[in-house]
Amino acid sequence: MYRGRLERDLSLWVGKGLIGQETAAKLLTEYDSRPASFSLGRVLMALAAVLLAAAVLLVVASNWEAIPRLVRVGAILALIWAVHIAAASMFARGATAAASGLLVIGAMSFGGAISLVGQMYHLSGDEQTVMYLWFAIATISAILFRSGAVVVVAGFLSWASFAVYLENNDTHWIGLDPWMAPIMAVITIALVRYTGAERARHLAYLLLIGWLAWLYTLYEGIAVALAFAIGGMAVFALTALPYPRIASLVRSAGAAPAFYSFFIAVIGLLLLHIEIEQGWRLVVLGVATLAAAVLAIALHGRDNGAVRYLAYTTFAAEMLYLASVTVGSILGTSSLFLFSGLVVALVAWIVIRLERRFSREARA
């Protein structure tokens, strides 16, 4: 998809005389020489690694009653060492796909080893502690080998750890364990930046959103929903600040920070709509939702397609909702549309003025 768009742009620039045909051909050749972001072989290798790791875990779960304890422990430890040594060898040869698959098997085998030792020697502890240790080992492996595949494993382990907590504590907040979910998410994001496993960052952001949704189930109310809306829009606006340090940090993180912060704000606005169903507060909330959608388009709509479409959807859904709740009064609906139009026009005027100012500063 991107290559086709790039080829069209290069043809357009050649036609306008901005670049030469030879330069355009070199640029296209350079892009084609880059390693593909998607490889069926790598995907199949990862699936094979997951299946083999699942086989190891199932064998461990069977407890190998007929095999002596020391032999069982030695076998699982030998497997862990063997796959990591083989992975290092594969990395040295440049076979990254095979090395990543072996590291996935190694990371999963660690969990099997922990469970095996625990069930054989009846060690004290619980599932939650096992999940923390498993995540920590996967993190260390990802750092040592700088492996994006193991970062993905760590991301899923963070989800599994949070799920284990919710199941064992009946979704209640008990002790300090609930804070581990956002801590694991932050660690996963740091691993993503270190290893370059860009797609794995979504596991961390979705974990944070799931954790916030769980908080709302514990403390339902307008205050929590309002905190989501205001906090999300504050972080979203922060990602659009033109300061060099913030701008470079946001660019290096891709489109995810802006989209997920705006998504949290939209969730907060949705929860506020559930809490507020009528009266002047609903009108204020409706206008605020429309303004948030327009502001999102103004700040990131040009460069961030995910934010743009989410803002379009939010704006359209809000207009339909407000029209449905005021359908009994045509005058009320027309007044709402008139007021919303004036607000959007005012925001558009401010955005145009800011764009012109930034353009003049850029030329200066």
Q: Are 232 and 261 in contact (CB under 8 A)?
A: yes
Q: Which structural domain range is residue 309 located in?
A: 220-332
Token representation of residue 363: 């030329």
Percent residues over pLDDT 90 in the chain: 13
Residue 292, in any domain of the structure: yes
When mean pLDDT is compared across 75-84, 131-140, 209-218, 285-294, the lowest value belongs to 75-84
Q: Is the pLDDT of residue 364 over 70?
A: no
Mean local confidence (pLDDT), 105-128:
68
| Residue 39 placed within a domain | no
- What's the average model confidence in pLDDT over 146-158? 88
Kindly state the average pLDDT of the residues 148-177.
Answer: 88
Residue 320 contacts by C-beta under 8 Å, 6 or more apart in sequence?
none
> Does the structure show a pLDDT above 70 at 43?
no
pTM of the model: 0.73
pLDDT at 286 over 70: yes
Residue 94's pLDDT band, with cuts at 50, 70 and 90, is confident
What pLDDT is stored for residue 241 in this prediction? 75
- Say if 302 falls within a structural domain: yes
Q: How far apart are CA 84 and CA 107, in angstroms?
A: 9
* pLDDT confidence band for 291 (50 / 70 / 90): confident
The model's pLDDT over 196-220, given as tens digits with 9 standing for 90+, comes to 887 888 899 999 999 999 988 888 8
State how far the Cα of 154 lies from the Cα of 174, in Å rounded to an integer: 24
Task: Provide mean pLDDT across the span 176-200.
Answer: 89
Residue 134 lies in a domain: no
Beta carbons of 104 and 130 less than 8 angstroms apart: no
Cα(24)–Cα(21) distance, integer angstroms: 5
Which of 35, 155, 60, 159 lies closest to 104 in space, CA to CA? 155
Which range is most confident: 49-53, 83-87, 94-98, 346-350?
83-87
Closest C-alpha to 298, from 339, 235, 229, 349: 349
| Any domain includes 295 | yes
> Does the residue 111 lie in any domain?
no
User: For 17-36, what is the mean pLDDT?
Assistant: 71
Task: Say if 356 falls within a structural domain.
Answer: no
Number of domains in the chain: 1
**Mean pLDDT, rounded, for 304-319:** 83
On whether residue 171 sits in a domain, the answer given is no
> Over the chain, what is the mean pLDDT?
77
Largest CA-CA distance found in the chain, in angstroms, rounded: 83
Q: What pLDDT, on a 0 to 100 scale, did the predictor assign at position 348?
A: 66
Burial label, 328 (beta-carbon count in 10 A; 0-12, 13-18, 19+): exposed
CA distance 201 to 190: 9
Out of 36-45, 70-79, 127-136, 327-336, the most confident range is: 127-136
359: its two tokens: 């353009």
pLDDT of residue 264: 93
What pLDDT, on the 0 to 100 scale, is given for residue 38? 46
